[in-house]
Amino acid sequence: MKKDNQASWIRKYRTVLILLLVFFLFLFAYMKPWPYMLYGPGSAESVHLRVETGHELEEKGAFLFTTVSTYSNPNIFSILYARFNPRMEVKSEETATGGATNLTAYRNLLAYMRDSSEANALMAAYATMGKPLDVKPQGVIVVALLPDSKARQNGLQEGDIITKVDGRDIASAKEISEYLTSKKAGDEVQVSGTRGKEKFEATVPLIAMEPDKRTGIGFQNETVLKVTPPDPVKFDFADTGGPSAGLMMTLEIIAQLTGEDLTRGYRIAGTGTISADGTVGLIGGINYKLMAADREKADYFLVPYSSRNESNWTLAQETVERLKLKPQLVKVSTLQEAVDFLKQLEPKAE
């Protein structure tokens, strides 16, 4: 009799039970994060509003730096939406971060790349104008850890900035290399410095690195530079990451400091890393940056170009053709090429 009552109760409330089950399954799917990263068109914003030099300049047009929109740890619905959206892409977290230790390490590395891009923009701009700068090394950034390195499991991660080794001040990649090669594989060193806004310490075993068996931590590194210009230059890119706004930053600095409106009245978008010597480097996500530039009605788009690697140029052409985008593509390999292109433009008719 009791079983009959239970069966009767289930039949009576079957619809409600099914709806509750569906609701909780939906809630679980909505709340559960997955180790993926979604990519799509970001923004195309005026650089003029984010770079101050103490020199006023009225621009009739605008330099637009472009970004990629990224979304980490999405739920299954966001992943499915991105899979079927021709203007989006899904990558595994490991692929997206280049195998970084964790998302925090990846974001710290991106923040360094942004800061380094600002320093390089200053050096490239002032070199083009023939003006001096004060440049000082102030640490060593961990860019990537090699497969044989034992540093990751001993507390070091990408994006860490090392300023001391065994209590000794370290300012450059050369200094840390010279100190570590004086030791032997298996020795341990204590490294310390900054991890984002925090301080860190780690005790790391040294290895014999291939191919020359030189003793070291086993990481790719760069010297962190502090660049102090004679002008009161300020950047406002704290909400971005990565080095790809470098070219557009540099053009804006030159325009403001020379007092010449290099935009010629056009909306000029672009992307590309910048080196201190003015070399424009390749970047990722140029297709999404082009979509953002098109949405903001850019007239031209400066595309990083290398004769040894035409991937940016090829993808830019394919994207413009496939989506019928309006910006006119311009190849640039160096800062000087970009400046020369801008200076030969006839002012845009109002």
Per-residue pLDDT, 29: 86
Catalytic residue among 78, 117, 149, 244: 244
Per-residue pLDDT of 241-287, as tens digits, reads 999 999 999 999 999 999 999 999 999 999 999 999 999 999 999 99
The backbone torsions φ and ψ at residue 16, rounded to the nearest 5 degrees and listed phi first, read -65, -40
The mean per-residue pLDDT over the stretch 194-217 comes to 94
Tell me if the bond preceding 147 is cis, omega within 30° of 0: no
The mean per-residue pLDDT over the stretch 182-205 comes to 96
pTM above 0.85, yes or no: yes
For the chain, the 3-state helix, strand and coil shares in percent, each to the nearest 5, are: 35, 30, 35
What length is written for the chain? 350
Is there a catalytic annotation at residue 244? yes
Q: Which amino acid is at 14?
A: R
The count of other CB atoms within 10 Å of the CB of residue 83 is: 11
Is there a catalytic annotation at residue 234? no
Per-residue pLDDT of 102-155, as tens digits, reads 999 999 999 999 999 999 999 999 999 999 999 999 999 999 999 999 999 999
For residue 208, give the 3-state DSSP assignment. strand
Can you read off the two tokens belonging to residue 2? 């009791």
Catalytic residue among 8, 289, 297, 331: 289
The mean per-residue pLDDT over the stretch 13-31 comes to 83
- Alpha-carbon distance of 39 to 241, in angstroms, equals 14
Q: Is the pLDDT of residue 161 over 90?
A: yes
Per-residue pLDDT, 44: 97
How would residue 10 be classed by pLDDT, with cut points 50, 70 and 90?
low
Per-residue pLDDT, 25: 87
